[in-house]
Amino acid sequence: MENQLRNAIRKLLEEKTVDVAIGYGRVGVGGAVGAVFVTDPSEVDRLVWNAECRQNLAVHLSRPEVKALGKPAIVVKGCDARAVVVLANEGQIDRENVVVVGVVCEGIQGADASGVATGTLLDKCVTCVEHAAQNVDILIGDAAKAAELDAANAPNAKTAGKQAKLAALLQKTPEERFQYWRDEFSRCVRCHACRQSCPLCYCNRCVADKNRPTRIDTSATLKGNFAWNILRAFHLAGRCVGCGACSAACPAGIDLDLLNLTLANAADEQFGYVAGKELGAAPLIGTYAENDKEEFIR
Amino acid sequence: MNPETKTTGGFEPKIVAFVCNWCTYLGADLAGTNRLEYPANVRIVRLPCTGRVDFNLLVKAFEVGADAVLVSGCHPGDCHYAAGNFHARRRWGLFRELLDTLGVDSRRVHFSWISAAEGAKFQKLVTEIVEKTRELGPYEDYKAIVAEK
């Protein structure tokens, strides 16, 4: 499959269909997998595909320095592909001007502190029902195998993995939940890695960086940490595709994606909306229906 | 001093009400001109439209010591800007779920539609919220995270 991927990218580069290919390569310390930008067809062997390709590469698509490289091809997993769809729907990329190379992903493994794969699948992969990336231009890998894996996960998609963690949290009393987040957010150092790793947090100037007036404490006070994490989660309401890049990037190991998941579940339950499912879909927030539920309004 | 201050043991809840310029603010105004008395615990913040009520304002209100917040605007279909309240409604529906997961006390976050003609409704609702918040006591959980450095 890796060779198949390399051949496809080589062809795209050789035929000048694209100027740069954004893919995975062993670029980190000790051969850890990260993003590589291949512009020369003779260098496609730098590309890899394996269960350690954790990053969501779609984060690079809206970066000006990447846009300056020319027309991109991008390697995406099922979850990442949804982020590309949202970027296109929100006008951040011209979908016609990006070649999306989807891969059949059989699940990504977690890593220990030194970056070595643990052999266990990530929580998001346990509930994944898009092993073959959707809305792509080229699909690499065995689609039949992907369908098999999808079917195996489908019965547990709403209950296993992260959903189970969220359900356990919601079983607690509000006071216990508040205490839980208080403990979690007290470890937040406000490095904003969650923001930087997120393909959909693309504002040129983040509200958290504004200090005239200061909307959110810029230092890592507990009050500011609450405000920041509420802001980050809610700015992704109806947009987050659940790729888990934020939690993976968090050096404090906070389960940030539980907040996003709660909003994704609410979007699905209240409005039947799943972010990144459909190219051309209207954004959830920014549109409305006259019969939206309002039993909480007096 | 207001004699009621003594009977409640000194705790007077602070309520921040984010209201729209065209309906609820005028409703509150009507309550005033009609001499309908409501507790002075409510601090009214006037905004152009409920569509302008950024969720950060609610967070900020708790940060600066609010014990409860109220967001109120025009009834659906009455928005001065045609659809601001529809947009707001959808946002609140999601924001409430986030607050719920975070364990923020949902009994302290209120939403309502109050038209310019509903001075009495404004009086009744505000009185009710103040009484309820008085029972709940100060929002110690949020005050504690604000106090912690």
Instruction: Report if residue B95 sits inside a domain.
Output: yes
Instruction: Report if residue B31 sits inside a domain.
Output: yes
Instruction: Give me the pLDDT at residue B6, please.
Output: 52
Query: Is A215 within 8 Å of A223 (Cβ atoms)?
Result: no
Structure tokens at A36: 């590589």
Give the count of domains, chain B. 1
CB contact under 8 A, A271 and B90: yes
Residues of A in contact with B95 (CB under 8 A): 234, 237
Residues of A in contact with B148 (CB under 8 A): 186, 221-223
Q: Which pLDDT tens digit goes with each residue over A271-281?
A: 999 999 999 99
Instruction: Give me the pLDDT at residue B9, please.
Output: 65
CB contact under 8 A, B103 and A177: yes
Q: Is B25 on the interface with A (CB under 8 A)?
A: no
Q: Is B112 on the interface with A (CB under 8 A)?
A: yes
Kindly list the distances between the CA atom of residue B93 and the CA atoms of A7, A291, B139, in Å, as whole numbers in the listed order. 48, 13, 22
Reported as half-sphere exposure (CB side, CA atoms, 13 A), residue A262 has a value of: 24
Q: Which pLDDT tens digit goes with each residue over A69-114?
A: 999 999 999 999 999 999 999 999 999 999 999 999 999 998 877 7
Q: What is the pTM of this model?
A: 0.91
Instruction: Assign B148 a pLDDT band (cuts: 50, 70, 90).
Output: confident
CB contact under 8 A, A227 and B145: no
| Mean pLDDT computed over A59-67 | 94
Q: Which pLDDT tens digit goes with each residue over A38-52?
A: 999 999 999 999 999
Query: A147 burial class (0-12, 13-18, 19+ CB within 10 angstroms)?
Result: middle
Gyration radius (Cα) of chain B, Å = 15
Q: Which helix (H) or strand (E) holds B126?
A: helix B119-136
Structural domain boundaries, residue B126: 12-141
CB contact under 8 A, B90 and A294: no
Residues of A in contact with B63 (CB under 8 A): 223, 227
CB contact under 8 A, B105 and A293: no
Among B92, B110, B145, beta carbon nearest to A223? B145
Q: Nearest 5°: CA angle at A67, between A74 and A80?
A: 30
Nearest CA in chain A to B76: A290
Q: How far is A24 from chain B (nearest CA, A)?
A: 34
Reported as half-sphere exposure (CB side, CA atoms, 13 A), residue A83 has a value of: 28
Task: Tell me which residue of A240, A249, A236 sits closest to A197, measured CA to CA.
Answer: A249
Among B90, B97, B104, beta carbon nearest to A292? B90
| Mean pLDDT computed over A193-220 | 91
Instruction: Report if residue B7 sits inside a domain.
Output: no
| Mean pLDDT computed over A212-241 | 93
Instruction: Report if residue B5 sits inside a domain.
Output: no
Which of B19, B24, B102 best probes binding to A when mutated, by most A CB atoms within 10 angstroms? B102
3-state SS assignment for residue B73: strand
Residues of B in contact with A296 (CB under 8 A): 92-93, 96, 111
| Mean pLDDT computed over A204-210 | 91
Q: How far is A151 from chain B (nearest CA, A)?
A: 30
CB contact under 8 A, A221 and B103: no
Instruction: Assign A23 a pLDDT band (cuts: 50, 70, 90).
Output: very high
CB contact under 8 A, B89 and A288: yes
Instruction: Give me the pLDDT at residue B3, please.
Output: 52
* Sequence-ordered list of residues with C-beta below 8 angstroms from that of A219, at least 6 positions apart, any chain: A190
Q: Which pLDDT tens digit goes with each residue over B35-83?
A: 999 999 999 999 999 999 999 999 999 999 999 999 999 999 999 999 9
Rounded-to-integer distance, Cα A162 and Cα A244, Å: 10
CB contact under 8 A, B92 and A271: no
CB contact under 8 A, B59 and A166: no
CB contact under 8 A, B89 and A298: no
Instruction: Report if residue B130 sits inside a domain.
Output: yes
> How high does pLDDT run on average in chain A?
93
Q: What is the CATH number of the domain that holds B111?
A: 3.40.50
Instruction: Report if residue B147 sits inside a domain.
Output: no
